[in-house]
Amino acid sequence: MNLRFVPTKFCGIPNVHKGFRNQVRRAIRSSSWAQQMRPALAACSKLYVAGHSLGGAQAQLVAACLQRAPARGEDGWEDYKYLLWVPNATLTRTLPSLV
């Protein structure tokens, strides 16, 4: 996957690795992301993303998309909308790390 670089866009960001983008999209568009991760993110006012190897590439794409934060209708919204969450100040728990 790493050696066959095919440039594409993710979250409105040009020239990203298509294979890495596809892996991120599979994760954030999955039913488990929608049912488990998105609701859990409401307890977070901050998010730290990290990874190793493929996970590191995915973490960079997610962090770049969150930093860019395109609005509805802007280039990249179709990816960002799966990462967007609204912190809920009444939820005061620390979530476990995902391994």
Residue 27 has pLDDT above 60, yes or no: yes
For residue 89, being part of any structural domain is answered with no
For residue 31, the enclosing domain spans 11-80
For residue 96, being part of any structural domain is answered with no
Amino acid at 78: E
Residue 19 neighbours by CB under 8 Å, 6+ apart: 1, 2, 4, 6
In which band, very low, low, confident or very high, does the pLDDT at 94 lie, cut at 50, 70 and 90?
low
In which band, very low, low, confident or very high, does the pLDDT at 36 lie, cut at 50, 70 and 90?
confident
> What are the tens digits of pLDDT across the range 43-58?
888 888 999 999 999 9
For residue 55, being part of any structural domain is answered with yes
pTM (two decimals) = 0.84
For residue 88, being part of any structural domain is answered with no
pLDDT computed for residue 67 by the predictor: 96
Please choose, from the candidates 83, 41, 77, 35, the residue with its C-alpha nearest in 3D space to the C-alpha of residue 59: 83
Task: Count structural domains, the chain.
Answer: 1
For residue 91, being part of any structural domain is answered with no
